[in-house]
Chain A
């Protein structure tokens, strides 16, 4: 394990683990409320923040956090008030955010498109000490919200209308979800990049769903998958000189395919056990004519 001797690898691995935890942790609520692509939209908006950070010579990470939080709040407001034109408004927000990022970074004296690329697709080896501090603080916030308020966020994401009648502050919780998602995007920005963030929020959750029946188990499995792929992706990129962000995302998709393939027999066994418990016969019992009728098409085909 000589890679741990390098300070930049220690920072990279720490950032990777934090992203592996936080992205699925907030992503599960986005998937639950069927807003799986929200992370992608916030990622687009965050580009303006990165560009502004370069232009104003502030920390791009903190500037991206600020802008993406504003963008996420704006999206939530559009969801409340924007009636039929809501999707158009969102599209303008997303692409405006992306165009703004490209524009600002080109206006900035220190910025170049190469700089922007490192934020778009991640650049683990250039994660600085101050980036790590920011990532740790932001990740702590995300973990606190997604675990501490899990019952409230579950209720709101499962059925907003019902949650309102239990007296939960639905709007505040929706805003908190949006802000937390925005924070997660900026946490993950240095590791997998703004354009690939959404994959780490959504795909581990989708993979975990293949195995689990409960929300709690889905949460745990998704985070476990997230941490596994971010660590193995980072390590792979150290030895093989491949881009870590892309490696992590491809590994996540591989995990999804593997688990989905594995889950089919598990689900079948589970269904059989359930039938057994219910005392249902394993197959339909209409013995006489059905097999003959079923068997004939094969014979006719010849």
Chain B
């Protein structure tokens, strides 16, 4: 850990080179290059089906890559195992499972990457409390996640990612289905994290309240990088203040297979 800062000054935090990926028989990524440097906030934008979610999921190893290379903290993804440095917010609209669970229980699973053998010590419980405070959910810690609103679910999922105190946050549409008030809370949370030097890679449908935070935008179309540079200015209806553009969509091919009986 001591030579981390030296190594990270040169190595990008995330590097994708010529990444191709297929879901079933459909080619979703056709050779993506994407680099995220330390302390940067990079947004991946694009229409539904442009491959932006797949690109992010290939970074965390959720989507198999057919060609190209991916490096995280300078390590090829296949050999990367230092997951406590990464916080991940998957694209989901709920933090709930099939059994009731409290907000603390859900957020605690984000701390497992730092806990040895799954045993949480005092420092771990404090980190979980801190993560909940960061998203303004400290007062709901003992409530069931089933009792939360959509925006609060998303805040719980982000707290879970922050519980391991990661250097890199990867978020897949953290604003999907989130009301404006919660969007502001999330933007504030993110601003604090970025202020502390956290690197952020996130998929967004549109920039929204996060716009001032974004250093760079990568726009995908049909699995290719269309634009890599300053965030594009919103035009037309999208530029209107308070424009709430929620698409709780799911890429059918990216969804796990539902076999009915078992999944």
Binding site for B on A (CB under 8 A): 28, 31-38, 41, 75, 78-79, 82-84, 86-87, 90-91, 149-152, 154-155, 157-168, 205, 209, 212-218, 274
Contacts and interface: CB of A to CB of B under 8 A. Distances in A.
A159 B113 contact: no
A31 B98 contact: yes
Interface string B112-126: 110100101000000
Contacts of B100: 209, 212-215, 217-218
B99 A90 contact: no
A157 B115 CA distance: 18
20 contacts: A32-B98, A33-B98, A35-B261, A37-B261, A38-B262, A82-B257, A86-B257, A86-B262, A87-B260, A90-B261, A158-B109, A159-B109, A161-B88, A163-B112, A165-B61, A165-B83, A166-B83, A213-B142, A214-B105, A214-B142
A215 B101 contact: yes
A209 B259 CA distance: 25
A28 B110 contact: no
Interface of B: 24, 60-62, 81-84, 86, 88, 90, 92, 95, 97-102, 105-106, 108-110, 112-113, 115, 118, 120, 142-144, 147, 160, 164, 170, 256-257, 259-263
B81 A167 contact: yes
B97 A151 contact: no
B118 A152 contact: yes
Contacts of B98: 31-34, 36, 157
A91 B259 CA distance: 10
Contact of B144 (A79, A83, A159, A213): A213
B101 A151 contact: no
Contacts of B101: 154, 158, 214-215
B51 to A, nearest CB: 17
B259 A151 contact: no
B99 A31 contact: yes
A151 B81 contact: no
Contacts of B256: 160
A159 B262 CA distance: 15
Given A33-B97, A83-B24, A165 B102 contact: no
Nearest to A89: B259
Given A87-B260, A213-B102, A213-B143, 11 more contacts: A33-B97, A35-B261, A41-B261, A82-B257, A150-B118, A151-B115, A161-B60, A164-B60, A165-B83, A213-B144, A214-B101
A154 B111 CA distance: 13
B113 A166 contact: yes
Contact of B257 (A75, A84, A149, A218): A84
B31 to A, nearest CB: 25
Contact of B90 (A75, A86, A151, A161): A161
